[in-house]
Structure 1
Amino acid sequence: MGVQWSDAADGPIGGDLTAVLAYATPAGGAVLTPIAPIGLRDRDAGRLTFTTSLGFGRKLDRIRSNPAIALAYHDRAHGFGASSAYVLVQGRATIVERPDREYLETVVGPAAARFLGAPRRGPFWDRWLAAYYADRVPVHVDIERVVTWPDLRCAGDPVVDGEPLPAGPPASQAPPKKGAVPRVDVAKGARRLRGMSDLLLGYPGADGRPWVVPVGLRADDPRGYELSAAPGLLHPGARRAGLVGHRYNAQLVGLAMRQHTGWLEVADDGSARYAPHTDAGFAAPANKTLLLLTNGFLARRGLKQAQRARAAEAAT
């Protein structure tokens, strides 16, 4: 029997169109990326599920190396939930390396169609989207903790189901060997982030589980981004952290995302500065057909890269 979560948490878990997935990096930081969880969960078993494509192999490799992940349910837009709660789920992920085709077709398929619309079918689409639809793998998450705040800003004290939160903050980390200052164009990155509707920050907590919370971009200068957050939400200290901003329309049409890894410094008064070290992202077409063409291309390219990487690893 896994962790049983509240009805307040179940609304977002079962109804949000998007969530932000956080997983650890080998250097002790975190990567944040938006996903579409499509409401797959089993409350009795204390488990939820999301899917991803084998074409996104780097994400899967990181989760295999460190299965401690988190999912942040932070936005009700274009979903089915009416709750105002922010829900952070922390647990251990298991990738289903050889998924059951019947499960994908009878469970995942209808759930995805509810949120994303019916899949395109036909000779061209079946071939073009093979890496995106047919080669998807489920990732089961055995839940260890569910943290629920009453509003999306994470103001006030949360309700915790499962393991209690750590008593203290995570320890500060030593600065990176290449330095803690920004390594990308801060002004350009800030302009891109201000075009996103949601901005979330994440890093490993004191128990190693990713801590993912909403933040605001208050200002920027050559030293990095000045971030704002609800009082007490960010842990004092200095550490590696991930930052992601995204926006989307119904069925994820028009999806855009900017993703950073970098260095976070939080003062005792809660003021926070983030120095971005990497910058990645995309803006998908605001047209369903063009979006599917793009998804197919990216998944096919990623799958080929993953296959080449695994073949090279097997040969060494």
Structure 2
Amino acid sequence: MFKGDLTVAAAYLTPAGGAVVTSVSPVGLADRAANEVSFTTSLGFPKKLERILHNPRVSLAYHTREHGFATHSHYVLAQGRAAVDLQPSAQRLAELMDASELFLGRTKRGGVWDWLLREYHQNRVFVDVHPDRIAVWPDLSASGPATVTGAPWPRHPAEQEPPKNGTTPRVPVAKLARQIAALPHRLLAYQGADGHPVILPVTVTGHDETGLRLAASSELLPPGGRRAGFLAHGFQPQCVGVSMRTVTGWLTVEDGRALYAPHTSTGMTAPPNRLVTTVANGLLAKQGLRRAQRNGTTARLHDLAARHRAQGSERQPTAFEDAPAQSTRPQR
């Protein structure tokens, strides 16, 4: 169930009570015995890591099947608490490289490539999520009743206070609609009643100057208004040609009708060429690490991680350990 998708959605919370949802490639990192599902990121994205360290409630949505190895058709949402491993062992990094080759293709090696990809491979940060709850829907639309293991599914969260700057769109809606038109996967994320992010698949049914009109499972759309994150993304085999747009904004649900007013929008598109993508990843990792060391981000993250470890975290092992296992069919 957790080892087959090439790309999944990860959501974390903001200090204002919103949610940010982005796509990650977990390359099958899951350990049932340790009650752990994982993904990696880079020091080049410090805001994500800082927010997870401040509030470790994180969710992962297994919502894609193409180009991976999963044989089931379920939509799976894992909600739990994250631990950030800023200094993974050499053994863990080696195991990551082995795992990634199955999903992303063989790693380029040799003098120049070893230098170019050194930071990309050796300065990875692991985010290990220990699920408190796992919800499984029978299809990728997340419609109908879910099978829930671990903590019971909570009621809808209460409405949130609107932001001081208002709830109307702050970026051009028509432009955003054009930017996401070719991206097949669309998801919405918000803070649930128990503090965990909820990620649900949505369909964009239209738009006007007030926002994007969304359709989704009525059981997962919370009535009222709240901060919410939106993700549209697409990818090709081995994560070549990745395209992603991450949005934050205000969600209003009335009588089952959802309107999403975008406030911020950022995106990236990688060329559908593995050689170009590999070179870009190496250069960006070098640049990101140097910037993080220069501006004090590295030291700040290590301090946050130390405080997080000192505070400790509760472990609730039943969700992952009780979840049904699903077969995957890895192939090279």
Identify whether the pair has TM-score above 0.5, normalized to the shorter chain. yes
**Mapped contact 1:265–1:274 kept (Cα < 8 A):** yes
Query: Counterpart of 1:285?
Result: 271
Query: Counterpart of 1:224?
Result: 211
Deviation, structure 1 residue 140: 1.3
Deviation, structure 1 residue 118: 1.1
> 1 or 2 for the larger relative contact order (CA 8 Å, sep ≥6)?
2
State how far apart, in whole Å, the 2-side matches of 1:127 and 1:56 are: 21
**Mapped contact 2:43–2:298 kept (Cα < 8 A):** no
Q: Provide structure 2 residue ranges, at least 5 long, that are not aligned to the other structure.
A: 301-332
1:203 matches 2:193:
no
Q: 2:43 aligns with which of 39, 54, 65?
A: 54
Query: Counterpart of 1:152?
Result: 140
State how far apart, in whole Å, the 1-side matches of 2:112 and 2:46 are: 24
**Mapped contact 1:196–1:245 kept (Cα < 8 A):** yes
Deviation, structure 1 residue 77: 0.6
**Amino acid in the other structure paired with 2:187:** L
The CA RMSD over aligned residues, in Å, is 1.4
State how far apart, in whole Å, the 1-side matches of 2:294 and 2:17 are: 27
For 1:95-114, list aligned pairs within 5 A: 95-105=84-94, 107-114=95-102
Deviation, structure 1 residue 301: 2.8
SS in 2 for 1:15: coil
Q: 1:306 aligns with which of 289, 292, 295?
A: 292
**Amino acid in the other structure paired with 1:201:** L
Q: How many aligned positions are there? A: 300
1:88 matches 2:77:
yes
- For structure 1, which segment, 153-162 or 299-308, has the greater mean C-alpha deviation from structure 2 after superposition? 299-308
**Amino acid in the other structure paired with 1:281:** G
1:73 matches 2:62:
yes
Query: Counterpart of 1:243?
Result: 230
Deviation, structure 1 residue 262: 0.6
Deviation, structure 1 residue 43: 1.1
State how far apart, in whole Å, the 2-side matches of 1:232 and 1:32 are: 20
Deviations 1:80-127 (A, max 9, x none): 01111000000111011211011211x211111110011111222222
SS in 2 for 1:265: strand
1:256 matches 2:229:
no
State how far apart, in whole Å, the 1-side matches of 2:291 and 2:17 are: 25
State how far apart, in whole Å, the 1-side matches of 2:180 and 2:51 are: 25
Deviation, structure 1 residue 51: 1.4
State how far apart, in whole Å, the 1-side matches of 2:264 and 2:44 are: 21
Q: Provide structure 1 residue ranges, at least 5 long, that are not aligned to the other structure.
A: 1-9
TM-score w.r.t. the length of structure 1 is 0.92
Identity of aligned residues (%): 48
TM-score w.r.t. the length of structure 2 is 0.87
1:117 matches 2:105:
yes
Q: 1:137 aligns with which of 118, 125, 130?
A: 125
Deviation, structure 1 residue 312: 10
Deviation, structure 1 residue 253: 0.5
**Amino acid in the other structure paired with 1:213:** L
Deviation, structure 1 residue 270: 1.2
**Amino acid in the other structure paired with 1:212:** I
